[in-house]
Amino acid sequence: MYQNDIGKRSAKVKNVVERGAVKKFAEAVGDPNPIYWDEETGKRSRYGRNIAPPTFPRVFDYGVIEGLTLPSKGLIHGEQRFHYERPLFVGEELYCYAEVKDYYEKQSSMGLLGFLVIANNGEDADGNLIFTSTSTIIINEAVRKAMSV
């Protein structure tokens, strides 16, 4: 049902790696290491500043992919992948967008399952890709049927 959406992208949205948001996020995943929030620790580190935890890109705004309608309920987050060229720096601006990478269906004991693969990307101001966060979302048969009504 999403085959025709493969390749669709959102427009880029400027995001800032906000200091307060990074600290709050690090605390929420039980990782309050000072490299994420203490300015002195950041300055003394090899990065010369604070960095963000690897799963922080969850908080960014990736914009809206025109024409892609997802069910509001019943989605299962099946897999998640992050790839980094370097850690994210606190205070930097990133230009983020989402892209439908793939859609396929598989028969399972729970019926026909749909697998939607969405890549959330972040680039620097020069257009260099800094990270990709790829989610595989599982859509079960009941949800797919409800959607097509």
Binding to another protein (CB under 8 A) within 38-77 occurs at 45-47, 51, 53-55, 58-59, 73-74, 76-77
Residue 4 Cβ vs another protein, minimum distance, rounded to whole Å = 26
Give the number of other Cβ atoms within 10 Å of residue 76's Cβ: 11
Cα 26 versus chain centre, distance: 16
Which of 5, 13, 19, 78 binds another protein (CB under 8 A)? It is 78
Q: Does the CA dihedral 33-35-36-37 come out positive or negative?
A: positive
Backbone angles phi, psi at 29, to 5 degrees: -105, 20
The reply on whether position 115 binds another protein by CB under 8 A is no
Burial class for 78, CB neighbours closer than 10 Å (0-12, 13-18, 19+):
middle
Residue 67 Cβ vs another protein, minimum distance, rounded to whole Å = 23
Near another protein by CB under 8 A, which window of 7-15, 21-29, 89-97, 100-108? 21-29
Near another protein by CB under 8 A, which window of 7-15, 20-28, 110-118, 120-128? 20-28
SS3 112: strand
Give the residue from 10, 22, 16, 3 showing the smallest Cα distance to 116: 3
Q: Which residues of this protein are in contact with another protein, per CB under 8 A?
A: 21, 24-25, 27-31, 33, 35, 45-47, 51, 53-55, 58-59, 73-74, 76-84, 86-87
